[in-house]
Amino acid sequence: MPKISTFVNDNFLKNLREMGKQQGKSLSKIASELIEIGYKVKQLQDGKSNKEEEKRAELVAKHTEYLLRMLTILSDIYRCTRNEKSTQAGEKVDDILSAIKDSVQSYISGYIGKD
């Protein structure tokens, strides 16, 4: 087992010795367990922060997609209220919304692929 050296203040050392006496373990064993626990906590926090970042990125992507869909729909509604021809071809509303969704998704994919 490798050896690690560190500096700690007197109060911390005193607390470690008291913990060792209470649990019947040596000072080095107590320190080793604390380091292991701290390492595991750090790993869990890093994993949690990565998941939060992924969720945040996913939310931003969905927000952008929905915003572009709404803008397309609103611009088409505006054209129709001004008696201009709609840019969407289709007879049913579901078909038009599906076409808008596909158009927006292809625009986003194309924009991301520019990198």
Note the pLDDT tens digit of each residue in 11-36.
988 988 888 889 898 888 888 888 89
More confident residue, 42 or 2: 42
pTM of the full structure: 0.43
CB 27 within 8 A of CB 15: no
pLDDT at residue 5, as a whole number: 82
**Phi, psi (deg, nearest 5) at residue 88:** -100, 135
| 96-111 per-position pLDDT tens digit | 788 888 888 888 777 7
**Phi, psi (deg, nearest 5) at residue 44:** -65, -40
